[in-house]
Chain A
Amino acid sequence: MTKEKSSAKFAGFSAEHWFTSPTSRAFGALIIVFALGLLFNADGAFYKWGTHRDMLRAVSVYGILSCGMTLVIISGGIDLSVASILALTAVSFSLFTIHKGISTPIAILACLVIGALCGMFSGAVIARFRIQPFIATLAMMVFARGMAKWVSGGQKISTAVQQSDGTYKYVNVPQVFNFINSKVLGDNITVVTLIFVVCLIISWILLVKLRYGRYLYAIGGNEEAARLSGVPVGWTKILAYGMSGLFCAVAGICQAAQELQGDPEAGMAYELSAIAMVVIGGTSLQGGRGGIWLTLIGVLTIGYLEKILSINAVGEDKRLMLTAAIIIAAVLVQKGKK
């Protein structure tokens, strides 16, 4: 009984619910996409681990954003500011490490604090003034983008450092940039993917193992009932958006490392991809239902779809249209459970 329970809480991996649980339904979409990959394998490219490794590397930044998005959506909210906070922290990180020469651990810490503060500010506005999450995070989206441009002076923060006499001096990127991009474990996995996995595990602990996670589900399910049950609704929300901001900062650092620069225009419309991944997994936008493993499935579904289309040389135009179809199809399958 207990064993069964803990496994069911894990992500619905219990046999009795196998065919009806949200997890299995989300898996359905992933399996279909995967099967398509086996079929249209681009002369065996799909059978090579390298293809999968590259796919994982490509979705990792989106995946990290989706972790925070999952927490916020389960609490019944939405976070539109993730991509802007990503850009702000990417710019800040590049500025700190490349231009100012601040040591890497301090730069990372500073970026995490910036991200978390941005998120907590949105959360505080939502909790204190009862402003709709859509509006509050929309404002933060505009603000953080503006701040990214202000901090960077509208320029990409790259290894070309302008000197006082107007000439450019090229410097080397700090070690950490190369490290995040490097492949480890016998070249089988990229470090950025491992960072994504750590974010998944942190989210899982928050959602399933901690009292805090139960509060998130309760607030998303019925905020008033949660409040009347003594749940600290305000703080729980502030922390949820704060965690989302923190994950944005992690994603921003990874983004900077991947591009070898801090671009204030980075991550345009990433928030929509992150929301799409969460929703395809089966986490309800109404809040109260869902889980982090569902989000992982959503991330993989989109990741594989993109990869399969690109190795088959399908143009971006058709890729976008097909992704739209997958979003609708996946949500329809989710609805079928009722």
Chain B
Amino acid sequence: MTGICKSFSGVKVLSDVQFDLKAGEVHVLAGENGAGKSTLIKILAGVHTDYQGQISLNSQPVRFASIHEATAAGISVIHQELSLVPSMTIAENIFLGREKCRGLWLNKKEMTAEAGKLLAEIGLDVDVTRNLGSYPLSIQQMVEICKAIAFDCRIIVMDEPTSALTDVEVEKLFTIVDKLRKSGCGIIYISHKMEEIYRIADRITVLRDGEYVGTATAEELDRGKMVKWMVGRELNQQFPRHKSAPGQVRLKVSSFILPDPAGKPMPAVNDVSFSVRCGEILGIAGLQGSGNSELLNGIFGTYGSQAHGDFELDGQPYKPTTPANAISRGISLLTNDRKANGLVLGMNIIHNITLAALKKFSPFGWLQPNSETKTAAEQKEALNLKAASLKMSVDSLSGGNQQKVVMAKWIETEPKVFLLDEPTRGVDVGAKHEIYELMNKWTSNGLAIILITSEMPELLAMSDRIIVMHRGSITAEFDSEQATQEKILHAAMGIQTN
């Protein structure tokens, strides 16, 4: 791909970008959110057809007019967002759009058999005749990957494929990637996770603000240099956690039990006790299914009175009944899926920021638009939110800026305890750094933070204390000095260590 330019309604999002992919290599496409990676991929996949520049495939110039043409040419894309139908079975999903038929009739038997074979090949043990929706997100993601590689393809694009995967599944994925590489496939891999990039990259191309910065092999381009390429400046410290001096106990949780929300016999959170102090960041580690996310939701009252246990907030008894009650008591929850339940995407930035604290802006029920706008402008300043106008709807913002809107919303409720579930998921390097700085600022003002993150370096660097959960129970607790990646992983997988 050479000289690729693309504009959206007059705004240039790609200018003169080049990219090349050899057979049998993994080429990582890196850049901050909004750098133009996804747009470039969409041009390659035939989604965007009105672009300038030249694409050649095996030295033949091509121009895909539709997704179908690109697929026929052997280009397969695994999208960031799942493009599967949860109410259909796994087999039906894999063959969606290319069903095997005998005349007019679907050949279910053959599809089921073949789907089972494909999934077994990548080491996924599931029942292909069950509905996809009955499996957790990580399995769905694996099915999506399987669907993409199930058919002969020469180029596979993976756009943040691991964002919903557990470490074990990530390993499986990498095995698959290796196999594909050896079989001569070219793989374009997009990720924000440094560990992953250096695990599998042969070469790395960096984009910034829609422009081509450079391409280098993974050996040549060390982390510092890559981050510099991506943000255009040096980030001297990737994780800037200031050591804090925790104050008195803010939230104390004892014997917390939460039945499984899906109705399985084993409780999602089983007899968990811990406490967090003012100004402290408590990290909760755990693999998928460990119950750490359910724990935060339980404290916030998402599950209502299903959650049992004794809670003390600043020495006062607290009972999680509804989110509204939790908010009024000074507990905020940043959920791990901002699009599904963090933001009202169609509403503008101002209204999203003031939503959770709206009573403050509407004495006697009457809204005060002026004070709303003023507050939103202050938050924009404080969080370095990049938006052309506060009246833009939030769905037009990049991931990092959307996350800042969610954070602004919760800070407006003046929380005492801030529960952060994957605060940096789908957020670019520059914004991640800013979020870490914000966490530092908040804790220095006495806020207590409970942090869940699947990025181990982030957890290790930002937490003052770490507890590890496995299948709903706490299996270990570490000070930040004692904790290592290995120790945490052992505890998270339920392996006893002494």
What residues make up the interface of A, taking CB atoms closer than 8 Å to B? 1-2, 5-6, 8-9, 208-215, 217-218, 221-222, 224-232, 288-289
Contacts and interface: CB of A to CB of B under 8 A. Distances in A.
Nearest to B340: A224
Interface in B327-369: 327-328, 333, 335, 340-347, 351, 355-356, 358-359, 361-362, 365-367, 369
Contacts of B345: 221-222
21 contacts: A2-B370, A6-B369, A211-B358, A211-B361, A211-B366, A213-B367, A214-B355, A214-B358, A218-B347, A218-B351, A218-B355, A228-B300, A228-B333, A228-B335, A228-B342, A229-B356, A229-B409, A230-B328, A231-B355, A232-B324, A288-B346
A333 to B, nearest CB: 18
B350 to A, nearest CB: 9
Given A214-B367, A230-B323, A224 B346 contact: no
B367 A230 contact: no
Given A2-B373, A288-B344, A228 B391 contact: no
Given A2-B373, A5-B391, A222-B344, A229 B355 contact: yes
A278 to B, nearest CB: 17
A13 to B, nearest CB: 14
A5 B355 CA distance: 18
Given A211-B365, A225-B341, A228-B341, A288 B323 contact: no
B15 interface: no
Contacts of A224: 340-341
Given A8-B391, A227-B323, A229-B323, A217 B344 contact: yes
A321 to B, nearest CB: 34
Contacts of A208: 367
Contacts of A2: 369-370, 373
A289 B348 CA distance: 11
A225 B342 contact: yes
B302 interface: yes
Contact of B324 (A209, A212, A221, A230): A230
A230 B344 CA distance: 13
Given A5-B391, A6-B369, A222 B341 contact: yes
B351 to A, nearest CB: 6
A228 B346 CA distance: 17
B289 to A, nearest CB: 21
Contacts of A215: 358
A208 B367 CA distance: 8
Contacts of B366: 209-211
| Shortest beta-carbon contacts, A-B, top 7 | A221-B344, A230-B324, A211-B362, A229-B356, A224-B341, A230-B327, A222-B344
Given A211-B362, A229-B355, A217 B324 contact: no
Given A217-B344, A225-B341, 19 more contacts: A5-B373, A208-B367, A210-B362, A210-B367, A214-B355, A214-B362, A218-B347, A221-B344, A222-B341, A222-B343, A225-B342, A228-B302, A228-B333, A229-B327, A229-B409, A230-B328, A231-B355, A231-B358, A232-B324
Interface string B429-468: 0000000000000000000000000000000000000000
B351 A217 contact: yes
Contacts of A225: 340-344
Contact of B323 (A9, A209, A228): A228
Contacts of B300: 228
A188 B326 CA distance: 56
Of the candidates B322, B342, B346, B358, the one having the most CB atoms from chain A within 10 angstroms of its own CB is B346
A221 B369 contact: no
A1 B409 contact: no
A209 B366 CA distance: 6
A232 B413 CA distance: 16
A279 B97 CA distance: 33
Nearest to B324: A230
A226 B373 contact: no
Nearest to B361: A211
B341 to A, nearest CB: 4
A336 to B, nearest CB: 14
A221 B346 contact: yes
A9 B333 CA distance: 30
A211 B367 contact: yes
B254 to A, nearest CB: 25
A187 B491 CA distance: 83
A287 to B, nearest CB: 9
Contacts of A6: 369
Contacts of B322: 230
Given A217-B351, A231-B355, A1 B323 contact: no
B461 to A, nearest CB: 28
Interface string B471-494: 000000000000000000000000
Contacts of A209: 366-367
A210 B355 contact: no
B341 A211 contact: no
B262 to A, nearest CB: 16
Nearest to A210: B365
A8 B351 CA distance: 14
Contacts of A214: 351, 355, 358, 362, 367
Contacts of A288: 344, 346-347
